[in-house]
Amino acid sequence: MSNTVIKVENIAKQYRLGEVGTGSLSHDVNRWWHKVRGKEDPYLKIGDSNDRTQKGNTDYVWALKNINFEVKQGEVLGIIGRNGAGKSTLLKILSRTTAPTIGSIKIKGRIASLLEVGTGFHPELSGRDNIYLNGAILGMSKQEITRKFDEIVDFAGVERYINTPVKRYSSGMYVRLAFAVAAHLESEILIVDEVLAVGDAEFQTKCLGKMKDVSTNGGRTVLFVSHNMAAVKQLCNKGIILKNGAFEFEGSTLEAITHYQKISGLASSYFHQGTIQSALGNHNIRILKFSVQAISQDFITISSGLSFNIEFYNHNADINLDVTIELKTNDDLVILHIGKLVTQNKDSMRGIYFVSGELPPYFLNAGIYKFKVIFGQDQRIALYIKDDIVQFEVLNEAIGSNNFVRPGFSAFQIPFTHSFKQLEDAVATDY
């Protein structure tokens, strides 16, 4: 379609581990000889997938393989994946920093990239000179850059140091200026890697707002890589997932994040399919469902609160049946242990029971949590215990990044009161 600005077709990138290029003269000659005879590169037929947890069978590895997608004008695409999934390699190919081994990319418009701290900056030049240098690289005239100059410096907040060589900047100042240049100069496509994690919370919020503005009001396309799902949720309207260098999933932001959490072991729901006898449990209890979801939003955040729902089959009649949930941090620190008698007069029946509960907004701080569930008799005899049945992440939507979380397990807000008493100087001396 005419409004497609990036089209990626069958992109793949192969590296030889520990080497630059193919690594040996014999391999280079072999490639050249096959090319002269019009035959395929023999080393494209070998190579392991990009799984850093497995020992490979060859020195060749596919950092990316069979990547296909399109991005339309004005879209904000979130690229999600674990460390080593191939996200940065893909952005380098799109930025033309490196070339794909095979495949093609069609790009309509100029690209401004922020892949790592100081990308495109000359350390010996001042901040002022680097602004003009980056603008010139993008094909802008000196007059166009001058017109944007004050806006860039104001956004970056480095006016006092604008004539200082950038090699003397802190990493935070470097990122501030680099992002300001990339976001304000007239490029049609903006590519931003996880580098924004270097900035402070206030600047991250500012950057997310700017990227939202340039896509919504400026019609610019943004490609955004982040491990923080709150930032992806806030900014992006579409997401793709990479796993071990391969294309795993493409869909809406909500669908992509849900899928990513599922493959990352952060599934916030357990649903059994099949017979009751094959469900999780033992001869006393069989768990059919344990789900956790936000009360007021699509995602669980500090302010959304959360609800949990348990569905289980009880095999024991005529007992006092109880259910206890235990909420733990990702480090196995228990922050909540609470139980409930489901039946109190030894009148339990064989059949399916439903238990639900809620945790209010601001009860939990941002982070990853796990539920443990304990089924018992008379709150003294354990019938079945399941550790870590589900995991879930609480996002910090207030600042857009879980890299800057206030200390503590709870984000509960306590109302403060204050008063003031003014004293005369003479009285204050003796007070």
DSSP 38-56: T---GGGG--EES-TTS--
Distances (CA, A) of 29 to 23, 62, 135: 11, 21, 41
Residues 6+ apart with CB under 8 A from 273: none
Distance CA 248, CA 251 (A): 11
- Over residues 173-182, the mean pLDDT reads 85
Residue 407 pLDDT more than 80? no
More confident residue, 226 or 406: 226
Distances (CA, A) of 141 to 124, 135, 189, 200: 22, 8, 18, 32
The band of 30, judged by pLDDT with boundaries at 50, 70 and 90, is: low
Amino acid at 96: R
The closest of 161, 14, 205 to 101, measured between CA atoms, is 14
Distances (CA, A) of 173 to 168, 198, 212, 320, 333: 9, 9, 22, 63, 37
pLDDT tens digits for range 259-277: 887 776 667 788 998 899 9
Residue-level pLDDT at 266: 63
Residue 284 pLDDT more than 70? yes
Domain layout of the chain by residue ranges: 68-263, 269-394
Residue-level pLDDT at 199: 61
Q: Do residues 312 and 281 touch, judged by C-beta distance below 8 A? A: yes
Helix H or strand E encompassing 232:
helix 229-235
Mean pLDDT across the chain = 82
Residues 6+ apart with CB under 8 A from 380: none
Residue 63 pLDDT more than 60? yes
Domain covering 269-394 in this structure, CATH number:
2.70.50.60
The band of 197, judged by pLDDT with boundaries at 50, 70 and 90, is: low
- Over residues 118-147, the mean pLDDT reads 85
pLDDT tens digits for range 313-359: 999 999 999 999 999 987 778 899 999 899 999 999 999 999 999 99
Residue 195 pLDDT more than 90? no
Candidate from 50-54, 70-74, 197-201, 381-385 with smallest mean pLDDT: 50-54
Residue 239 pairs in a beta bridge with: 78, 251
* Side-chain half-sphere CA neighbours of 265 within 13 A: 6
- Residue 409 CB neighbours (<10 A): 15
Residues 6+ apart with CB under 8 A from 219: 73, 74
Domain covering 68-263 in this structure, CATH number:
3.40.50.300
Helix H or strand E encompassing 30:
helix 25-36
The band of 96, judged by pLDDT with boundaries at 50, 70 and 90, is: confident
The band of 137, judged by pLDDT with boundaries at 50, 70 and 90, is: confident
The closest of 227, 231, 228 to 210, measured between CA atoms, is 231
- Over residues 166-178, the mean pLDDT reads 86
**Topology agreement, domain 68-263 and domain 269-394:** no
What count of residues does the chain have? 431
Residue 12 pairs in a beta bridge with: 102
Amino acid at 120: G
More confident residue, 406 or 114: 114
Q: Do residues 248 and 69 touch, judged by C-beta distance below 8 A? A: no
What single DSSP character describes residue 131? H
Residue-level pLDDT at 48: 47
Residues 6+ apart with CB under 8 A from 304: 294, 295, 296, 297, 361
**Angle at CA 271, nearest 5°, toward 266 and 275?**
145
Q: Are strands 269-271 and 285-294 parallel, antiparallel or unpaired?
A: antiparallel
Tokens of 162: 């604008």
